């Protein structure tokens, strides 16, 4: 069956519907939803039951890059600075040194057990060196897995920030494979340029995006999430245009925005949460369609050997060396080692050798696909089990809901208090987003005369308004009172 403009929406929507329905019941059997999305794509592909003809690596790569934009941006928005600040150094060590060590260790092993050249081997190692953000975010949240000792922020920070490192390594070694006369030293300046420009651009676009979102004054609330999407793509493409790493830039931009006071922040978070799931499904379905299962079978043996080496040796070695200078319990390091999930990102990166036309591109793609599937199947299905074995999982009664979850789910706080706005207060005629209102409390309603107003970030506070505020603790109300009364005309 060929995809045409007449049937692409019908086929796409049916595959999407099937994926959602199957994904809803998958965890009853302990199967990660992402793996099922891949399987559905494979069953619908050229070697599958439906027989959809799809063999376009360039289109698959484009879909992958767009999807990763949404997945990384959504993950960044959900990243609480207060949660990652205590483990920032550990997370960055894992996402840089850890990725490099994984790529080198696995690359040398591939070179030893195959007929690949050293650069081809290091290219394969680089492609699968990162922990996949889509896999980690979706599996941890789908399983509602709460972990002790800042483990979850560490894992989410690593997975959200290590794709840029893997991307740069992939491009660097692909360049060396294509241009045999170049040396490793020639790609080092490019590496540092990409990372430095990506970091600076991400922070700069984050500040600019906050300024635009809070001051543009759009006529419809629904346009603010659309505006955020536009800013996300501008951040990625502009950073890439100047030679920086766009993936790093959008993640840093999103982390910055997620920890600021934004107009209609709740709506933005909800929309990106839904779009991230949509893009994960689309990405895995597309990559499932792209692969030919019959072509993978000859490489299953070597693929399993490389996959087991990655899971059992390369990943743990890189984690233990990266964290050797940090005080961390052995069980934490062991669990971090196990959550080295590969997923869609390595498959997307594997399309770059295909488009470059290198000799072993198809072999690399098929091996990477097999590694990703086995990683999700082996590691993804045992995250909860290993958490219990290593005693790093929180008991059910100790699980806490973080601020982002509270915004998305609109869960009520435990108590309510009213604050009357005196005409002498400096907050009069200021927008809620501009007064640095405590994040531990929410204004749920404003009583203005005989009217009740549902507040948003752009809502102006007027004199004699009565703010109805909910919070969990009395200290939170003290912070609210200090915010409202600490400055006078």
The strand pairing partners of 420, in sequence order, are: 466
CA-only gyration radius of the chain, Å: 24
Choosing from 363, 398, 433, the residue where a domain stops is: 398
Predicted confidence (pLDDT) at residue 413 exceeds the cutoff of 90? no
Q: What is the CATH number of the domain that holds 467?
A: 3.30.70.1450
Point out which residues pair with 451 in neighbouring strands. 448
- The Cα 314–Cα 298 span in angstroms is 24
Q: Of 292, 296, 294, 293, which Cα lies nearest the Cα of 304? A: 296
287/270 Cα distance (integer angstroms)? 26
Could you tell me if 153 and 243 lie in one domain? yes
Q: Do 481 and 432 belong together in one domain?
A: yes
Instruction: Say whether both 434 and 463 belong to one domain.
Output: yes
Tell me: do 148 and 255 sit in the same domain: yes
Decide if 159 is inside a domain: yes
- Please name which of 280, 379, 341 lies closest in space to residue 38, comparing C-alpha atoms: 280
Highest mean pLDDT among 130-134, 336-340, 438-442: 336-340
Range of the domain at 474: 412-485
Domain count, the chain: 2
Tell me whether residue 291 is in a domain. no
Mean pLDDT, residues 430-440: 80
CB 154 within 8 A of CB 91: yes
List all residues 6 or more positions away from 44 whose beta carbon is below 8 Å from its beta carbon.
11, 15, 50, 52, 285, 288, 289
**Section 226-236 average pLDDT:** 95
CATH number for the domain harbouring residue 251: 1.20.1530.20
The verdict on residue 46 lying in a domain is: no
In whole angstroms, what separates CA 78 from the centre of its chain? Answer: 9
pLDDT at 473 over 80: no
For 152-164, the pLDDT digits (tens) are 788 878 887 888 8
CA distance 46 to 473: 58
For residue 38, tell me if it sits in a domain.
Answer: no
Q: What does the pLDDT read at residue 411?
A: 46
Confidence tier at 452 by pLDDT (50, 70, 90): confident
Residues 401/409/467/227 CA torsion (nearest 10 deg): 120
Flag whether 7 is in a domain. Answer: no
Q: Would 171 be classed as within a structural domain?
A: yes
Do residues 161 and 207 both lie within one domain? yes
Q: What pLDDT was estimated at residue 480? A: 82
- Which of the 8 DSSP states describes residue 488? B
Separation between Cα atoms, residue 276 and residue 67, nearest integer Å: 8
- 381-393 per-position pLDDT tens digit: 787 788 888 888 7
Which residues are CB-neighbours of 83 under 8 A, at least 6 positions away?
A: 150, 153, 402
What are the pLDDT digits (tens) for 1-38? Answer: 666 666 677 777 887 787 777 766 555 544 566 677 77
pLDDT for 83-137, tens place per residue?
788 888 988 899 899 999 999 999 999 999 999 999 999 999 999 998 876 667 6
Judged by average pLDDT, the poorest of 269-283, 324-338, 401-415, 470-484 is 401-415
The answer to whether residue 262 scores a pLDDT higher than 50 is yes
Same domain, 355 and 219: yes
In a domain, residue 288? The reply is no
Identify whether residues 89 and 188 lie together within a single domain.
Answer: yes
Strands 441-448, 415-420: pairing is: unpaired
Average pLDDT score over the chain: 82
Question: Does a structural domain hold residue 297?
Answer: no
Q: Which two tokens mark 462?
A: 């007027």
Same domain membership, residue 323 and residue 234: yes
pLDDT band for position 418 (cuts 50, 70, 90): confident
DSSP strands (E only) in 181-250: none
Looking up tokens 């049937």 gives 7
Same domain, 204 and 84: yes
């Amino acid at each position: 069956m060929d995809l045409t403009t007449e049937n692409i929406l019908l086929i796409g929507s049916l595959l999407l519907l099937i994926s959602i329905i199957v994904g809803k019941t998958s965890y009853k059997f302990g199967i990660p939803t992402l793996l099922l999305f891949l399987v559905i794509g494979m069953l619908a592909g050229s070697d599958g039951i439906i027989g959809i003809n799809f063999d376009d690596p360039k289109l698959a790569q484009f879909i992958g890059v767009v999807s990763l934009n949404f997945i990384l941006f959504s993950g960044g928005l959900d990243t609480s600075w207060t949660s990652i600040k205590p483990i920032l150094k550990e997370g960055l060590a894992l996402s840089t040194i850890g990725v490099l060590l994984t790529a080198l260790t696995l690359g040398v092993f591939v070179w030893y057990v195959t007929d690949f050249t050293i650069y081809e081997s290091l290219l394969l190692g680089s492609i699968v060196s990162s922990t996949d953000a889509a896999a980690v975010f979706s599996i941890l949240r789908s399983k509602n897995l709460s972990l002790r000792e800042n483990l979850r922020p560490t894992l989410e920070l690593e997975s959200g920030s290590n794709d840029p490192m893997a991307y740069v390594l992939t491009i660097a070694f692909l360049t060396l494979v294509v241009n045999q006369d170049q040396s490793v030293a020639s790609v080092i300046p490019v590496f540092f340029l990409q990372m430095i420009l990506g970091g600076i651009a991400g922070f700069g676009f984050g500040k600019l995006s906050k300024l635009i979102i809070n001051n543009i004054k759009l006529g419809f609330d629904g346009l603010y999430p659309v505006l955020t999407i536009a800013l996300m793509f501008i951040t990625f493409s502009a950073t890439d245009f100047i030679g920086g790493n766009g993936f790093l830039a959008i993640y840093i931009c999103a982390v910055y925005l997620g920890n600021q006071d934004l107009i209609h922040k709740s709506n933005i978070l909800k929309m990106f949460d839904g779009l991230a799931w949509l893009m994960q499904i689309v990405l895995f379905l597309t990559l499932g369609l792209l692969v030919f299962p019959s072509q993978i079978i000859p490489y299953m043996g070597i693929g399993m050997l490389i996959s087991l080496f990655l899971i059992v040796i390369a990943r743990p070695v890189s984690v233990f060396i990266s964290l050797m200078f940090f005080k961390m319990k052995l069980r934490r390091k062991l669990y971090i080692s196990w959550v080295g999930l590969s997923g869609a990102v390595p498959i997307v990166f594997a399309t770059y050798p295909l488009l470059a036309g290198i000799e072993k591109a198809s072999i690399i793609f098929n091996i990477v696909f097999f590694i990703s599937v086995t990683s999700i199947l082996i590691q993804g299905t045992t995250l909860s089990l290993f958490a219990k074995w290593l005693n790093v999982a929180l008991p059910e009664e100790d699980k806490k809901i973080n601020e982002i979850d509270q915004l998305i789910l609109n869960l009520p706080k435990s108590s309510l208090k009213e604050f009357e706005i005196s005409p002498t207060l400096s907050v009069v005629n200021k927008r809620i987003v501009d007064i640095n209102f405590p994040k531990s409390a929410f204004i749920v309603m404003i009583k203005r005369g005989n009217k009740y107003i549902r507040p948003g970030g752009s809502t102006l506070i007027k004199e004699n308004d009565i703010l109805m505020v909910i919070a969990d603790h009395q200290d939170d109300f003290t912070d609210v009172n200090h915010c409202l009364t600490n400055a006078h005309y």
